[in-house]
Amino acid sequence: MQNRPRYYHLIPAGTLLAVLFSAQMVAAEELAVIQVHDQAISQPDYVSISPLDQNYVPVDTAEMLRAVPGANVNKNGTLTGIAQYRGMFGARVNTQLDGLNVAPAGPNWMDPPLSHVAPSQVKEMRVYRGVAPVSAGAESIGGVISLKSAYLPYGTGDDITPHANVAAGYDSNQQASTFAAQLGAGTANDRLQIQGNSDRGQGMTAGNGLDVVPTQYRRHLFGVDYGHDFNAGEFTLGYGHEKVENSGSPALPMDIISVKGNSYRAGYRSHDDAATRWLFDLHYGNTDHAMDNYSLRQNPLMLGMPGTPPMQRYALTHVRDMGYKLHATLPLGEEQQLTIGTDGWLARHNADVFNPLSTAFSLQNYNHTTRERFSLFTEWEAMLTSSLKIQTGARYSRVNMNSDAVSATGFGMLTGAINTLATSFNNTARAKQDNLFDLSLLLTQAINEDTHIVVGLARKQRAPAYQERYLWSPLESTAGLADKRTYVGDVNLSPETAYDMDIGVDWKSDLGYFTPHMFYKRVNHYIQGVSLNSGAAYNFRAAQGNALRGGGFCTANPADPFCTPLQFSNVSATLYGFDTGFGWNLSDAISLDGTLSYVRGKRNDVADNLYRIAPLNGMMGASYYGQDDWSLTAQSVIYGKQNDVSITNAEQKTSGYSLFNLHGRYVLTNGIDISGGVNNIFDRFYQSHLGGYNRVTTNVAGQSSAVATGSRLPGEGRSFFVQARAVF
């Protein structure tokens, strides 16, 4: 048998063994390889993805999710990947960076959580499969995804040992370049590193050479990290700076002009052999975000007001957030342990919109809007028998929310209507408190050494997001929904309550693996936009629509989606489906592997489907391993058509598509390798159902988009790439 690398391992019951070393991941804009590694028996419930080991590293960290069964990513622009898991996305998925939540600065999630970290900075991405335990985090109604930062190692003695990790890459499609470096040194007890990452792209070309504008991007990240190893555990300190400039998001009303932020973190973790294991994390972030609709694209005109200047809009947003976590795990004997803990997340948001051509115009989108969450939990884990494991827990969370009064000026003939909305909001009791209770139960039964049966049951809750509660005038600042609809919030929304069930079989042997899971989720008080056909918000939007479209458009078409705002409301919904990973070793040199995922989301209160649900999708890769220094992978990715769309959101159906990719990797020496290949070999034009709708006719230079406004954004066309990495 050849001594070729084996990157598939048994992941204990409750997790998914998704793909082998050669497995590729396809995104609407990029394709990537992932590897999945096994975990300790004490952590049997998540998939671990290590981006630093991959053949192809995407620019958007969220793209790695596409290879995990049940997971996917919503795209509104190159750097805007929003995590989706089993049909839920955005604030419903608890996404963590180094164990804590991080608040996007943009109310439209132009900088979603995973965009703040480049893949080069990530040690691993953990995706909890099925029911996440309560210890994984609060408000985990749609699952938990956790990123761990990559740190250079300690030295081995008192002498200082230098370390480095350097990577560079180029993609032909966007003329995109990436350079990343981690440089540091350490002794046996101390380590210090600096790191930087620079990404830029000129703009995406879809299949058949069709340009999509504006899709350029530019991002720079810098950080410093220090660690000290005590006898009992490790203490860490870190600082990070982020700068994103002139990055297009054609599915949203504006583009990114800048995102500038600083983050600070501290943590402590006991060693695994400690009698009581302590975990502490603290995060503080401060980020400013600027966006507009005229620097990268040509902005719209007021068709109903001849002679008026272009409708230029410039927005400044700001977020300041702090998160903390303190957990303690106590052994209760050889076969059981108890974990207790507390964590919290406090965030304050501001967002103001201006017209640079008129100093009289201003709108307070969100004014000192606060959301504070405090949480306590306990979790018990034990072997009930030699083959049956139980993990069960309970969590209580308190969410306090509030907003200051708002105002708007310079709306001309719409001044009366906008003032009515502002006055109504300001006279509302805006301070709200929600009490959340989560329960989880996970059972793992070993049938034999190779096969485990997994059962997960849970009750999970989520309080409304600040956009859902405090969006007071019809706007599209909706955490990246990108459905072309305007929304208003409801201060009196109730928390969502989900009842989950997950049943699966995880089988693995030397020949291959197969990990099918089925799931069912019923959500009471599901928060969904519902059409407004009367009232102050409708009257304002209809008058605004007449001005934007001209000719009394909304007066003549009162039910048109453009004229009818949606209000976030509590409804009832159900999601169900299945997902699996599978693989087979045909010989010592050839292997097959892949994934298959399906989810259906429906409303229970009316005959309608949920918005932006991934269609049936899967991938299959065939890999050949030469000697120890090279490998070659051919892969196909297939997405089915999606006809089960949301009528309420005026969602468009999409056709299915298939893509083919070829990747290879060559190890030059120990620690240095180079990879290359081609994605979307046949340069196919395709539109992902999870891509947003195009809003841009031409860019600021006058170049027309190849995609009609109102149609879904396409994925990336053929792209040749080369990437190199070196570890010293």
Q: How far is CA 230 from CA 84, 187, 274, 480, in A?
A: 39, 12, 12, 43
Which residue in 127, 123, 108 sits closest to 53, CA to CA? 123
198-228 pLDDT, tens digit each:
999 999 999 989 999 999 999 999 999 999 9
| Residue 126 in this model has a pLDDT that exceeds 60 | yes
Question: Is beta strand 496-508 parallel, antiparallel or unpaired with respect to 590-603?
Answer: unpaired
Report the alpha-carbon distance of residue 613 to residue 493 in Å, rounded. Answer: 23
**What is the pLDDT, as a whole number, of residue 19?**
28
Distance CA 504, CA 487 (A): 39
Nearest to residue 278, comparing CAs of 350, 353, 372, 341?
A: 341
Q: Give residue 13's pLDDT band: very low, low, confident or very high (50, 70, 90).
A: very low
Would you give the DSSP letter of residue 586?
-
What percent helix, strand, coil does the chain show, rounded to 5? 10, 50, 40
For residue 308, the model assigns a pLDDT of 58
- Distance (Å, rounded) from C-alpha 502 to C-alpha 372? 30
Q: At residue 236, what is the residue type?
A: T
Q: Cα separation of 638 and 655, whole Å?
A: 11
> Does 542 fall in a domain?
yes
The radius of gyration of the chain's CA atoms, rounded to the nearest angstrom, is 25
Specify the DSSP class assigned to residue 127. E
Q: pLDDT tens across 265-294, in order? A: 999 999 998 999 999 999 999 999 999 999
Give the single-character DSSP code of 116: G
- What whole-number distance in Å separates Cα of residue 543 and Cα of residue 721? 50
Full residue range of the structural domain in which residue 270 is found? 24-727
Determine, yes or no, domain membership for 19: no
Secondary element (H or E) of residue 513: strand 512-514
CB 609, CB 45: distance < 8 Å:
no
Q: Which helix (H) or strand (E) holds 434?
A: strand 432-446
Domain for residue 15, yes or no? no
Structure token digits, residue 224:
């410093």
- At 306 the pLDDT is 52
Per-residue pLDDT, 25? 31
pLDDT value for 43: 37
Residue 558 DSSP SS3: coil
Q: What is the largest CA-CA distance in the chain?
A: 80
**To the nearest 10°, the Cα dihedral for 67, 68, 70, 72?**
-50
| Residue 44 in this model has a pLDDT that exceeds 80 | no
**What is the pLDDT, as a whole number, of residue 307?**
54
Q: Tokens standing for 30? A: 């990029």
How far from chain centre, in Å, is Cα 320? 20
User: H or E element: which one contains 524?
Assistant: strand 517-531
Rounded (10°) angle between helices 536-549 and 415-426? 150
Residue 180 phi, psi dihedral angles, 5° rounding: -140, 145
Separation CA 137–CA 135 (nearest Å): 6
8-state DSSP, 64: G
pLDDT at 64: 92
SS3 601: strand
Tokens describing residue 167? 């990577």
Q: Specify whether the CB–CB gap between 513 and 458 falls below 8 A.
A: no
Residue 8, in any domain of the structure: no
Q: 337-385 pLDDT, tens per residue?
A: 999 999 999 999 999 999 998 889 999 999 999 999 999 999 999 999 9
Residue 309 has a pLDDT of: 63
CB atoms within 10 A of CB 299: 17
CA atoms of 391 and 286, how far apart (whole Å): 37
Residue 551's region, left for phi above 0, alpha for psi from -120 to 50, else beta, is left
At residue 422, φ and ψ (nearest 5 deg) are: -65, -45
428 Cβ neighbours under 8 A, 6+ residues apart: 491
Is the pLDDT confidence value at 192 over 70? yes
Tens-place pLDDT, residues 608-667: 999 999 999 999 999 999 877 899 999 999 999 999 999 999 999 999 999 999 999 999
> Is 578 part of a structural domain of the chain?
yes
- Cis-peptide into 133, omega within 30 deg: no
Residue pLDDT, tens place only, 148-189 = 999 999 999 899 999 999 999 999 999 999 999 999 999 999
3-state secondary structure of 260: strand
Q: What is the DSSP letter of 410?
A: -
DSSP letter (8 states) at residue 276: S
Task: Tell me the three-class secondary structure of 459-478, residue by residue.
Answer: EEEECCCHHHHHCCCCECCC
Tell me which residue of 475, 464, 490, 440 sits closest to 565, measured CA to CA.
Answer: 475
Q: Are the C-beta atoms of 417 and 536 separated by less than 8 Å?
A: yes
| pLDDT value of residue 301 | 63
Q: 425-429, long-range: CB within 8 Å, 24+ apart, which pairs?
A: 425/472, 425/491, 428/491, 429/491
In 596-632, which positions are buried (b, 16+ CB within 10 angstroms) versus exposed (e)? bbbbebbbeeeebbbbbbbbbbbbbbbbbbeeeeebb
Length of the chain as a residue count: 728
Q: Please check the confidence at residue 16 and state whether its pLDDT lies above 50.
A: no
User: In 3-state terms, what secondary structure has residue 680?
Assistant: coil
CATH of the domain at 530: 2.40.170.20
Average pLDDT (515-525) is 97
How many folded domains does the chain comprise?
1
Say how far apart CA 237 and CA 265 lie, in whole Å. Answer: 6
What is the spatial distance between Cα 91 and Cα 107, in angstroms, rounded to a whole number?
Answer: 12
202 located within any domain: yes
Residue 16 lies in a domain: no
Q: What is the pLDDT of residue 34?
A: 32
User: Is residue 660 in a domain?
Assistant: yes
| 98-116 confidence digits (pLDDT tens) | 999 999 999 999 999 999 9
Residue 534 DSSP label: S
Residue 97 · residue 43 · CB < 8 Å = no
List, in order, residues 6 or more apart from 689 with CB less than 8 Å away: 612, 613, 614, 615, 639, 642, 654, 712
Residue 26 has pLDDT above 90, yes or no: no
Rounded Cα gap, residues 81 and 72, in angstroms: 9
